[in-house]
Amino acid sequence: MISNPLRDPRDRRLPRVPEACALVVFGVTGDLSRKKLIPAIYDLANRGLLPPGFCLLGYARRDWGGDGDFEQLARSCAQAHARTPFREDVWRRLAETIIFLPGSFDDDEGFDTLAQTLLDLESTHGIPGNAAFYLSIPPAAFPAVLKQIERTGMASGKGGGWRRVVVEKPFGHDLQSAVELNALVDSVFSADAVYRIDHYLGKETVQNLMALRFANTLFEPIWNSRYVDSVQITMAEDVGIGTRAGFYDKTGAARDVLQNHLLQLLAMAAMEEPVSFDAESIRVEKVKILGALSLPPDSKRYAIRGQYEQGWLAGERVRGYRDEEGIPKSSKTETYAAVRLGVETRRWAGVPFYLRTGKRLPRRTTEVAVIFKKAPHLPFAETDTAELGHNQLVVRVQPDEGVTMRFGSKVPGTAMEVRDVSMDFLYGESFTESSPEAYERLILDVLIGDATLFPRNKEIEYSWRIIDRLEEFWSGRKPYPYRAGDWGPAEAEQMLARDGRLWRRP
């Protein structure tokens, strides 16, 4: 009998809706929750992707005078930041599910109340013990909250139901703290119940990297050291540090972005084909790549960090990093980092992976660019190919999500001149449906129990191993200056020039 794929429950085209469950957000009044989590929960409700028995439990320090005031705050967050249009009827239904509990993280009574509320949800909302705990809190508070969850027995649902925990980045600040945090989380929750957020993995274009590579015949045969000259992964921001001075000055670009987003993008670009698309198979392949990363022995030349000075951006004068509010004049924190990494596998032997990230760069863009080797032989006059560069495949993660292919084409005319042209695929033009926000996708995955897009322990630890070595090398050295509005310090340009290459100008 031929089964109807539309009725097959495994059919991934069917909307996936979680079972009745509660989402407990610790730090529900914080910046991340207001700008991303609450709007994403609203968007999920608006798309009909939350189960009828859903409950949002918010926990934070300030007393909002009951659910009513908190509901007002949450409503304004959804109105200001949700992706989909605000609909009063959708909000009203969602608002009925919101319970706000005030309490600090060392407040036993507050956590006892929370535990009791979760138990009561079975009779009040028909939720059979299923709950996810989202730790949207300062990293220093992770141990206190995890211990409270353990003390109150909330980590394992009494009488059945699943329990999961969502941990926000930064996941530690070096290898040792990451190992300690992993051990702490694992002592409270089982490994398969832990969801570590790297919101980049929730972006459609990042997932499209896998579709591009593994759903087509076109790219994979040339995705190796035989044809690839180098890979450039860029996450550039035009903004400065905004109001995050305290956090940023202790963190810097390498820990903030390189350790997680850029290394995850590298892993996805470089990994072997997974045996299937389940969480375990994909994570296994990513771990292999992150475990095979190497830094060149000459770090001085291949690990460059910079700090922006005053300059001009979009016609506006902007101040230098050390003149930003809350930043010490003597700060040596980097706002730019560029590094050359190797992947010690047969597929990638000898192919450099250049990673860079920075603030106050000319524009906001994130991309993975695969640069191919030049054709081994060109049967044209040298002058006809003077403007022919390397073929490139560029996956644009944001903005203008899509893929660009650059290759040589004949210039119209009587001569056989060949020059680079671009062929563009833009998400916005090819699909009528707009892409969900990363947090929509990730929250839904947590509630469904799909861990595919969440890095596991070992990935985090291998990433920190690389960052620790960079930090060790950089420690005590001053970052190179660069002018706000430039593409980073001159030393980063020299790093590629030394290898006979140039950074892309996205």
Ligand X SMILES: NC(=O)c1ccc[n+]([C@@H]2O[C@H](COP(=O)([O-])OP(=O)(O)OC[C@H]3O[C@@H](n4cnc5c(N)ncnc54)[C@H](OP(=O)(O)O)[C@@H]3O)[C@@H](O)[C@H]2O)c1
Q: Does 139 bind ligand X (CB under 6 A)?
A: yes
Q: Does 141 bind ligand X (CB under 6 A)?
A: yes
Exactly one of 20, 21, 22, 29 binds ligand X (CB under 6 A); that residue is 29
CA distance 216 to 213: 6
Taking the complex as a whole, the smallest distance from the CB of residue 345 to ligand X amounts, in Å, to 31
Exactly one of 84, 97, 130, 136 binds ligand X (CB under 6 A); that residue is 136
Give the nearer residue to ligand X in terms of CB position, either 129 or 172: 172
Give the nearer residue to ligand X in terms of CB position, either 194 or 289: 194
Handedness of CA 404, 488, 358, 181 (dihedral sign): positive
**151 near 189, Cβ under 8 Å?**
no
Taking the complex as a whole, the smallest distance from the CB of residue 247 to ligand X amounts, in Å, to 7
Q: Does 133 bind ligand X (CB under 6 A)?
A: no
Q: Does 105 bind ligand X (CB under 6 A)?
A: yes
The label of the residue with tokens 């968007």 reads 43
Exactly one of 72, 79, 104, 281 binds ligand X (CB under 6 A); that residue is 104
**Is 81 annotated in the active site?**
no
Q: Does 25 bind ligand X (CB under 6 A)?
A: no
CA distance 453 to 153: 28
Give the nearer residue to ligand X in terms of CB position, either 256 or 445: 256
Q: Does 54 bind ligand X (CB under 6 A)?
A: no
Taking the complex as a whole, the smallest distance from the CB of residue 35 to ligand X amounts, in Å, to 6
**453 near 203, Cβ under 8 Å?**
no
CA distance 56 to 471: 40
List the x/- string, 254-273, binding to ligand X by CB under 6 A: --------------------
Taking the complex as a whole, the smallest distance from the CB of residue 404 to ligand X amounts, in Å, to 28
Give the nearer residue to ligand X in terms of CB position, either 30 or 128: 30
Which residue, judged by CB position, is nearest to ligand X in the bound state? Answer: 30
Give the nearer residue to ligand X in terms of CB position, either 89 or 325: 325
Q: Does 108 bind ligand X (CB under 6 A)?
A: no
Exactly one of 21, 32, 268, 443 binds ligand X (CB under 6 A); that residue is 32
Exactly one of 18, 27, 161, 485 binds ligand X (CB under 6 A); that residue is 27
Taking the complex as a whole, the smallest distance from the CB of residue 279 to ligand X amounts, in Å, to 22
Positions 59 through 88 that interact with ligand X (CB under 6 A): 60-62
Task: Report DSSP letters for 362-416, one per residue.
Answer: SS-EEEEEEEEPPPS---S-GGGGTT----EEEEEEESS-EEEEEEEEEPSSSS-
Give the nearer residue to ligand X in terms of CB position, either 29 or 335: 29
- Three-state secondary structure call for residue 163: strand
- Three-state secondary structure call for residue 23: strand
Handedness of CA 177, 180, 185, 190 (dihedral sign): positive
Exactly one of 169, 261, 359, 360 binds ligand X (CB under 6 A); that residue is 169
Q: Does 143 bind ligand X (CB under 6 A)?
A: no
- Residue 294's CB is within 10 A of a number of other CB atoms, namely 12
Taking the complex as a whole, the smallest distance from the CB of residue 81 to ligand X amounts, in Å, to 11
Query: Which one of the spans 133-141, 394-402, 478-486, 488-496 is the region binding ligand X (CB under 6 A)?
Result: 133-141
- Tokens found for residue 361: 């760069």
Give the nearer residue to ligand X in terms of CB position, either 68 or 138: 138
From the candidates 125, 173, 261, 390, which is the catalytic residue? 261
Taking the complex as a whole, the smallest distance from the CB of residue 26 to ligand X amounts, in Å, to 7
Task: Report DSSP letters for 174-238, one per residue.
Answer: SHHHHHHHHHHHHHHS-GGGEEE--GGGGSHHHHHHHHHHHS-SSSGGG-STTTEEEEEEEEE-S
The label of the residue with tokens 């897009």 reads 453
Sequence letter at residue 312: W
CA distance 117 to 101: 10
Total residues contacting ligand X (rule CB under 6 A)? Answer: 20
Give the nearer residue to ligand X in terms of CB position, either 137 or 209: 137
36: left (phi over 0), alpha (psi -120 to 50) or beta: alpha
**181 near 171, Cβ under 8 Å?**
yes
Exactly one of 8, 11, 31, 298 binds ligand X (CB under 6 A); that residue is 31
Query: Which one of the spans 2-10, 56-64, 151-159, 366-374 is the region binding ligand X (CB under 6 A)?
Result: 56-64
Give the nearer residue to ligand X in terms of CB position, either 28 or 50: 28
Q: Are strands 336-343 and 293-294 parallel, antiparallel or unpaired?
A: antiparallel
**476 near 482, Cβ under 8 Å?**
no
Query: Which one of the spans 26-34, 204-212, 314-322, 483-491 is the region binding ligand X (CB under 6 A)?
Result: 26-34
Query: Which one of the spans 57-65, 273-281, 338-346, 376-384 is the region binding ligand X (CB under 6 A)?
Result: 57-65
User: Phi and psi (nearest 5°) for 26?
Assistant: -85, 130
- Tokens found for residue 290: 């992150």
- Three-state secondary structure call for residue 125: helix
Cα 28 → chain centroid? 20
**Closest listed residue to residue 292, CA positions, set 227, 219, 214, 346:** 346
Query: Which residues sit at the interface with ligand X, rule CB under 6 A?
Result: 27-33, 60-62, 104-105, 136-139, 141, 168-170
List residues with catalytic annotation: 261
